[in-house]
Amino acid sequence: MKKVAVFTSSRAEYDILFWLLKDIDQEAGLDLKLIVSGSHLSPAHGFSLKKIEQDGFEVHALVEMLVSSDTPVGSAKSLGLQFISLADAIRDMEPDFLLIVGDRFEALGAATVANLFNIPVVHFHGGEETLGANDDAFRHAITKLSSWHFVTNEIHRNRVVQMGEQPNSVFNYGALGIDRRKFEKLESLQSLSDHLKFCLTDKFFLITLHPVTRQEDDVDDFLDQVFAAIDEVKGYKLLFTQPNHDAGGVKIMNKITQFSDRYPQKAVCVSTLGNPWYFSAMKLTSAVVGNSSSGIIEAPSFRVPTVNIGDRQLGREAALSVINCMPKKEDIIDALNLAVSKSFKKRLDRLVNPYGDGLTSGRVIETLKSIQVQSLTPFHDLVS
């Protein structure tokens, strides 16, 4: 039996992993070892560890790492704490693989520690681009620390191979986050309103704003432009989710809280929605708004528009449902008006998501069962 450790440090990452975790846990040939860290353990970010336990998963290691700081220094110190705590967990666990999703600094820390123990890393979402965030560099670094790669489309597969990874170790199975099972038990608008204790209507925006860690523009100006725009588009209620634990995230959280307090009948903010509430909101919303990857990867599967603001997701392949705009008030207003127009929504009737067909998890399970445990693979030259 293969012992498969899975690292998760945020609510967004856990939602992506959810069905794969279920499948690993139920697969006779695989032994799930769940490592929980990062904002899952933070009350300020919703303490989503509780949700993981409510979902029925056994947590095998808790890795404390967050420093109460909203600066690059705080992020760097958090990474140092992660190395110390995760080293003990990996030593005691002795997994055959470590599974990691994405591109955050916590994922880079986990991949680094695994390599020090000669534990092969299985990486999801390699080969993608997000030029407006430090995550772009972290993602590519994780690729070079990984032995096996599950990517979301052929463009990303080619990039990973271009980086020197063996072609037979790179699998284009699509994105875990659009697993078709997400569509099976979604909640109604009334149930979502009851859950939020906030009266939503059939006209609301689902908004997530993250710091743009490589952008030189003033964060305050970015936020002022966004909030001025959404305030001017009348007739829509606003459902905010909190940002990731990145430098600058606290400033965004404070701005959202102030806005929601000022307009309690119009706006509500939640630290985390989780399954099935987040994707229920995504299915029901008039548009997904902000700069989160979920608007690019998951939202097209629900055939709902996305207004993608600024450069954080710059470089990602996007479906026709995604409207990119500058972080300027008038540009955002124009994008919002286009997104809710009948003519635009009509274009989405036959939309195909470029990130896959929602059958990724089963393919991953079969591959995990068949691949041989190994450490880093030799560099693959495109020209011999």
CA separation for the pair 36, 53 (Å, rounded): 11
| 168, 170, 176, 179 alpha-carbon torsion, rounded to 10° | -40
Share of the chain above pLDDT 70, in %: 96
Check if CATH label 3.90.76.10 holds for domain 182-346.
Answer: no
What pLDDT digit, counting tens, does each position of 307-334 carry? 999 988 988 999 999 999 999 999 999 9
Q: Residue 160 in contact with residue 149, Cβ under 8 Å?
A: yes
Q: Residue 327 in contact with residue 350, Cβ under 8 Å?
A: no
Take residue 286 and report the two structure tokens written for it. 């008039």
CATH of 2-179+358-370 among 3.20.20.30, 3.40.50.2000, 3.40.50.2300, 3.90.1300.10: 3.40.50.2000
- pLDDT-based confidence at 375, cuts 50/70/90? low
Over the chain, what is the mean pLDDT? 91
What pLDDT digit, counting tens, does each position of 212-257 carry? 766 545 778 888 999 999 988 899 999 999 887 776 778 888 889 9
pLDDT at site 213: 64
**What are the residue ranges spanned by the domains of the chain?**
2-179+358-370, 182-346
pLDDT at site 212: 74
Greater pLDDT, 132 or 330: 330
Using a 10 angstrom Cβ sphere, with 0-12 exposed, 13-18 middle and 19 or more buried, the burial of residue 147 is buried
The closest alpha carbon to 113, from 166, 63, 70, 148, belongs to: 63
pLDDT surpasses 80 at 13: yes
Query: CATH topology of 2-179+358-370 equal to that of 182-346?
Result: yes
Greater pLDDT, 12 or 318: 318
pTM of the model as a whole: 0.87
What pLDDT digit, counting tens, does each position of 17-54 carry? 999 999 999 999 999 999 999 889 887 767 889 989 99
- Which residue's entry shows tokens 């009737």? 349
